[in-house]
Amino acid sequence: MTKKLNRTAAAALLGSLTLFACTERDQGPLGNDLAANDWLLSAENETERFERLQKQMRGFDQPMWEVGERYGSLHAALQRENYDLAIYHWDKIATTIENGIAKRPGRSDSARALFLDSAFPEVRAGLEQRKPDAAWQAFDIARSACMSCHQAEKVEYMNNQALFELPMPADQRESGE
Ligand code: HEC
**Using alpha carbons only, what angle is made at residue 30 by residues 28 and 35, rounded to the nearest 5 degrees?**
35
The rounded distance, in Å, linking the Cα atoms of 46 and 62 is: 24
What region does 43 belong to: left with phi over 0, alpha with psi -120 to 50, or beta? beta
The mean predicted confidence, pLDDT, of the chain is 88
pLDDT tens, residue by residue, 136-174: 999 999 999 999 999 999 999 999 999 999 999 855 555
H helix intervals, 26-169? 46-57, 61-79, 83-103, 108-111, 119-128, 132-152
Residue 155 phi, psi (nearest 5):
-125, 50
pLDDT at 19 over 50: no
Instruction: Find the residues whose C-beta lies inside 6 A of ligand 1.
Output: 59-61, 64-65, 67-68, 71, 93, 97, 107, 110-111, 114-115, 142, 146, 149-150, 153, 155, 158, 163
Residue 153 amino acid letter: E
Asked if 150 contacts 158 with a C-beta cutoff of 8 angstroms, the reply is yes
Neighbours of 64 (CB within 10 A): 20
Q: Containing H/E element for 176?
A: none
**Domain range annotation of the chain:** 2-57, 61-175
Tell me how far the alpha carbon of residue 122 lies from the centroid of ligand 1, in angstroms. Answer: 19
Tell me how far the alpha carbon of residue 61 lies from the centroid of ligand 1, in angstroms. Answer: 7
